[in-house]
Amino acid sequence: MTLRRSKPLSEQVALITGGGTGIGRAFAAVLAEAGARAVVIASRREEVLKKTADELNSQTGAERVHPFAFDIRDLGETETLVRHVAKRFGTIDVLVNNSGLAIPETVEAITEEGWDKVLETNLRGPMWLVRAALPYMLREDFGDVDNISSQAGKNGYADVPSYCASKFGLLGYAESLRDHARKTGANIRVFNFCPGLVDVDHTGGDAEPRAGAIHVRNMARTLLYALALDREVVLEDINIYSR
């Protein structure tokens, strides 16, 4: 059996959407601390991204985290982001589809505006990013796509039907991407995180998460674990939640 190409984390370039706060920031921190060559954090709020990058780079003593402002609902800005990362750093090894939002609307009161905003952010945006990044991963014969879905991608909840639809859809899209990689022999892995409640407000190292939620550090540790697995190992949906 021919082993698939591996690559040390110190040579890898990661792109994390929603990387300025919460789960995305925790992902950026753990990858930077582990020695990733470059970690690009992207979202709409430029000032938040710059602050996060400065803080994480100060903690690691190296300039590994790089901010880039974009709107995931804008195709041109999304494609520009991917081209920028690939041009500056040579490729994209790890794509973390973390941007997401929920709009509470019951089934009988769903608005077109709310539905479209959620589906465009949580589902269409990741598709655009994968479509743009995939050629670079195929060229290098190496890549990992990490999708942040939810337990709402496996269970329906009456107060957030559009969010559930988007997260169910993300898992379906990811399964299609995984099947494509299998059938074409591409050295690309697809991981889906399906967390329950994650406390994105109490994120300090010593902070205790609110009841029923997990600390973001557990998401970060799980990402690092998944990326460290042998390339031949398949790890599909990752269910993680508080007891």
The per-residue pLDDT for range 143-189, each reduced to its tens digit, is 999 999 999 999 999 999 999 999 999 999 999 999 999 999 999 99
Contact 149, 219 (CB under 8 A): no
Structural domain boundaries enclosing 30: 9-240
Residue 198 maps to a domain: yes
Residue 64 maps to a domain: yes
Residue 144 maps to a domain: yes
Q: Is position 163 annotated as part of the catalytic site? A: yes
pTM attached to this predicted model: 0.96
Into how many domains does the chain fold?
1
Residue 24 maps to a domain: yes
Instruction: Determine which one of 163, 173, 225, 241 is catalytic.
Output: 163
**What is the per-residue pLDDT across 77-132, written as a single tens digit (0 to 9) for each?**
999 999 999 999 999 999 999 999 999 999 999 999 999 999 999 999 999 999 99
Give the CATH number of the domain where residue 212 resides.
3.40.50.720
Residue 75 maps to a domain: yes
Mean pLDDT for all residues in the chain: 96
Residue 4 maps to a domain: no
Q: Which residues pair with 194 in a beta bridge?
A: 239
pLDDT at position 49 over 60: yes
| Predicted pLDDT of residue 203 | 87
Nearest-10 Cα torsion for 85, 90, 95, 97 = 10
- Inter-CA distances, 30 with 43, 83, 135, 195, 218, Å: 18, 24, 26, 18, 11
